[in-house]
Amino acid sequence: MDVDAVKRQFGIIGNSEKLNRAVETACIVAGTDLSVLITGETGVGKESFSKIIHFLSKRKNKVFVSVNCGAIPEGTIDSELFGHEKGAFTGAVDSRKGYFEEALGGSIFLDEVGEMPLQTQVKLLRVLENSEIFHVGSSKSKKIDVRVIAATNVNLLQEINNGNFREDLYYRLNTVQIVIPPLRDRDDDISTLFLKFSTDFATKYNVSPIRLTDDAKQLLKQYQFPGNVRQLKNIVEQISAIEQSKVIKADVLEKYIPTNEQILPSRMNINRNVSAEFEVLYKMIIELRHNEQVFKNILFDIINNSLSVKDLASKYSDAFRSSYQIDDENVKKIKYIK
């Protein structure tokens, strides 16, 4: 097995140890029919790994179906996945196959499986245990032969504790787990990716490829990339299309990095040997980053009001509890940062 050849074939760029291990695992498991759970943050390229598993398997000449579970409304997801019978619900004028039947003999990739409703999780568990589905509106089962590959960007064990994901389904999906590292854990790959995207977009826009000055390279390396490889690609495309100068300095690059993320605690000049209390706060802030107003308020209080961790946890306790499941006892344990 040539890991580098596989990466070239599937457009995976980088040479970090964690990334290579993930590719190697995908190659090994491809030769089996085991269900696979791919985990990693948004934008790390989970679908590319699902394609490695399918196209290096014995099912490679069969259909590969990719489904974003989070994009399907709860009221229609059962029909979309498993099909329905005529008259099963208003608007069901004909019988219809679902994605599992479309993938017969091949593989189905269930992206964002953590967003799947509980009632649908029960039906997916039946597929994994008995290789059968039921059309919506039918009591007759249908046997299917489909390899299931799932992916998620959420912590499913935490979702199990929260009552949002079935434990038995988790262990059925997680026969083999492949963890895709975030871009911030692949420092040495950032420059390689930037060069690849810069070259691609130079060809697309018929311009010279952009390149970074040393200070811009350092800024890019320090950035946390919450959107991972997808975000880096978008940044490179924007700069390639807009900037007249093809030598990009740090002050120019900063225009393309979202302001509220530039001042994340991990980007501040803080000693990395910070207290455990600060680590708790940092994790909670990361969980809240998509709640833009709360996020901005917290950062304002950190920077301008110098509120302690305890004060912040108290002030935003409701938001913290809902996003991070922090209880009253843990709030009381949080101490001041010295």
Give the CATH number for residue 199: 1.10.8.60
β-bridge partners, 134: 141
226: which 2 tokens? 């919450």
Q: Are 84 and 121 in contact (CB under 8 A)?
A: no
Per DSSP bridges, beta strands 36-39 and 176-179 are parallel
Q: What range defines the domain where residue 315 resides?
A: 271-333
The reply to whether 223 falls in a domain is yes
One-letter amino acid of 243: E
The reply to whether 306 falls in a domain is yes
The reply to whether 58 falls in a domain is yes
Q: From CA 228, how far away is CA 45, in angstroms rounded?
A: 9
Residue 291, pLDDT above cutoff 80: no
The reply to whether 171 falls in a domain is yes
Count CA atoms closer than 13 A to 306's CA, side-chain side. Answer: 2
Give the CATH number for residue 36: 3.40.50.300
One-letter amino acid of 81: L
Same domain, 166 and 228: no
Under the phi-then-psi rule, with left for phi > 0, alpha for psi from -120 to 50, and beta for the rest, what region is 5? alpha
Same domain, 68 and 110: yes
Same domain, 170 and 111: yes
The reply to whether 14 falls in a domain is yes
Tell me what the mean pLDDT of segment 2-25 comes to.
Answer: 95
Same domain, 170 and 117: yes
Count of domains in the chain? 3
The CA distances from residue 188 to 208, 232, 314, in Å, are: 24, 14, 39
Same domain, 86 and 220: no
**pLDDT value for 63:** 97
Same domain, 172 and 214: no
For the stretch 81-110, pLDDT in tens is 999 999 888 888 899 999 999 999 999 999
**pLDDT value for 205:** 87
38: which 2 tokens? 């791919």
Tell me what the mean pLDDT of segment 129-142 comes to.
Answer: 94
Q: Which of 175, 146, 176 is nearest to 59 (CA)?
A: 146
CB atoms within 10 A of CB 181: 19
Q: From CA 213, how far away is CA 227, in angstroms rounded?
A: 23
Same domain, 168 and 122: yes
Q: Are 165 and 30 in contact (CB under 8 A)?
A: no
Same domain, 250 and 163: no
Per DSSP bridges, beta strands 132-134 and 141-143 are antiparallel
Same domain, 89 and 123: yes
Mean pLDDT rounded to a whole number for the chain: 84
Higher-pLDDT residue of 287 and 156 is: 156
- pTM of the predicted model as reported, rounded to 2 decimal places: 0.74
Q: Are 133 and 101 in contact (CB under 8 A)?
A: yes
Higher-pLDDT residue of 267 and 138 is: 138
Q: DSSP secondary structure string, 133-171?
A: EE-BT---EEE---EEEEEESS-HHHHHHTTSS-HHHHH
For the stretch 58-67, pLDDT in tens is 999 999 999 9
β-bridge partners, 39: 152, 179
